[in-house]
Amino acid sequence: MNDKKQGYIDENAKKPRQHISRLAFLLAGLLIAVTSVSLVFVGFIASRASTQQAVANEKRLFRSTLSDRLRAIVRDQVELTSSDVSVQNLVREFDPDFVRKSFDDLWSEHHLSKVMLISGGDKVLAETFEDYTHIIQRPVNETPGLEIVVDKLRDMYRRNRVRVPGGFGHRSLRGIDQSEYAIMGFLQIDGKPALFGAMPVIPDNHEVTLPDGPPTILLSARYIEDKLLKRLNRQLKFASLTFVNGPGEREIGPFHPVLDQSGEPIGIFQWDSKTISTSIWPTIIPVIAVLSIALAALAFGIAWRIGQLTTSLQMSERQNRYLALHDSLSGLSNRLHFNRMLEASVRSLPARPFAVLHCDLDNFKPVNDTFGHATGDLVIKTVATRLKDAVGDQGLVCRVGGDEFMVIYQGPINKAHLTRLSRMLVASVSDPIFVSEKDSVNVGLSVGVARAPSDGSNAETLVGRSDQALYQSKVKGRGQVSFYSDIREPQTASQMLIRLHETSPRQALGT
């Protein structure tokens, strides 16, 4: 019973901490897993953000390149449109030969797809078809969206027009942005999507002036076809660049939609990005691996140290608990442990009856007085060992005072068995105890027995009645065994209890 109860106490003591080390390693592993997943997630977000940023940069580059191409169209025609000679031959007078020569020069030098001359009366006066210039007069509205371009350019012209002697002129183009005097964008021309630039025909030296009224407009365009796409991509260096007619958006990959002057979609530029195919994962994965390994080493190192500290703490607490519940001299359970186990045994009644054996040494004081306290300690330790061996696993032997012992016995509690057990205890203690090679001492043992639940069903009652039985054994002459149930006279027993409170048995009897 001693080992069983002690194991129960130790188990209760270490249970709150027995899994701390394992928990520390589990938490370390969880931390590593969460961190690794977080790093992978961060890598995914970073990769996605990197791809999005790369696509945004490519779109910005494409818009810039496309804008440059539009500005180039206007720039290519400025020499013709900003000229006194052009005002004279295109506005003041209409010279077909001058028109053909000028349009041929634009087509051959700048590889324009289309050139159109539009009068202030909303008529197309001339337009090119490949390398042929056709002199005609047709309404502007035959080309969808062209009226909007003309109207916008007329408003811009009115803002820039200045009065000069003999008519009107145009403010200088020097130092101002193209968007302040020209219209650039996209149109469907001859059924084909095209980039265009348009500006009014204006004088440069104002030797020839403009008449009052709407301006004459020159429009130049480049069809969006393979030739243009190749030229654009020489600057962009995309994996591929295509144009798709009609409305819609590309679901995957970068694209750039284009609208006509009324805001209607013409088509989309789309390309395959080299940046998208270049993943940053080969860079991120080694970083994640290194960080995870470093974190794992740190976390498991901390967990191992926590495990060490926990083990040390458990050992220390186990030792402290053992010292708190055991007598340091004899190694038996002390009064605190006895009281706890007695309360636990009482709670198990009536299912598990038990007995309380109250034991006290006889003739112990002369041993101390004659041989000294060191010998007395040796006697106590020897008696403790003998009592524990005699009781065995069916009882808990406790030292509750100087030479006072108590036993909680949970084996058979019939009177015959307890009598044999008690006499065995008396006999084992009565054997000589050698305190040196030549000297030995003799002590005796008196025992008082109270049985539960017949003699009491609470701890205080059982202890009191076992003490009364012990007193009876002392009265009978020491080395005796008495049962509380054998005390016949209640009044005498009450008197003995009163005397017991006034003085201990050993004091009363001189032991």
In this prediction the pTM is 0.54
Four-residue CA torsion sign, 346, 350, 354, 358: positive
Least confident window among 99-103, 118-122, 370-374 = 370-374
Q: DSSP letter for 238, please.
A: -
As a whole number, mean pLDDT of residues 39-66 equals: 83
- Taking the C-alpha atoms of residue 509 and residue 446, their distance in angstroms, rounded to an integer, is 12
Q: Which of 92-96, 318-322, 337-341, 399-403 has the lowest mean pLDDT?
A: 318-322
> How many CB atoms within 10 Å of residue 186?
21
Domain boundaries, given as residue ranges, for the chain: 2-48+280-324, 82-223, 326-509
434-446, pLDDT tens digit by residue?
988 888 899 999 9
DSSP codes joined into one string, 150-216: HHHHHHHHHHHEEEETTEEEE---TTS-GGGT-EEEEEEETTEEEEEEEEE-B-SSSSS-BPSSSPP
The average pLDDT across 460-477 equals 93
Grouping H, G, I as helix, E, B as strand and the rest as coil, residue 445 is: strand
Contacts of 482 (CB under 8 A, 6+ apart): 447, 448, 449, 469, 470, 472, 473, 476
Q: pLDDT of 175-228, one tens digit each?
A: 899 999 999 999 999 889 999 999 999 999 889 999 999 999 999 999 999 999
297 vs 471, more confident:
471
Residue scoring higher pLDDT (282 or 482) = 482
> What pLDDT does residue 137 have?
92
pLDDT-derived band at 281 (thresholds 50, 70, 90) equals low
Min mean pLDDT across 1-10, 422-431, 443-452 is at 1-10
Predicted pLDDT at 9:
47
Q: Report the C-alpha dihedral over residues 406, 408, 409, 414, rounded to 10 degrees.
A: 80
Interval 307-336 mean pLDDT: 83
For residue 108, give the amino acid letter: S
Is the pLDDT confidence value at 358 over 50?
yes
- Residue 305 backbone phi and psi in degrees, to 5: -65, -40
pLDDT digits (tens, 9 = 90+) for 130-141: 778 999 999 999
The model's confidence at residue 13, banded by pLDDT at 50, 70 and 90, is very low
Residues labelled catalytic: 403
Q: Helix or strand or coil: residue 485?
A: helix
Tell me the percentage of the chain whose pLDDT exceeds 70.
88
Residue 502 has pLDDT above 50, yes or no: no
Residue 313 has pLDDT above 80, yes or no: no
- Structure confidence by residue, pLDDT tens digits, 240-269: 899 998 876 665 678 899 999 988 999 999
What's the pLDDT at 18?
52
Residue 111 has pLDDT above 90, yes or no: no
pLDDT at 505: 43
At 162 the pLDDT is 94
CATH fold of 326-509 reads Alpha-Beta Plaits (3.30.70)
CATH architecture, range 82-223: 2-Layer Sandwich (3.30)
> In whole numbers, what is the pLDDT of the chain averaged over residues?
86
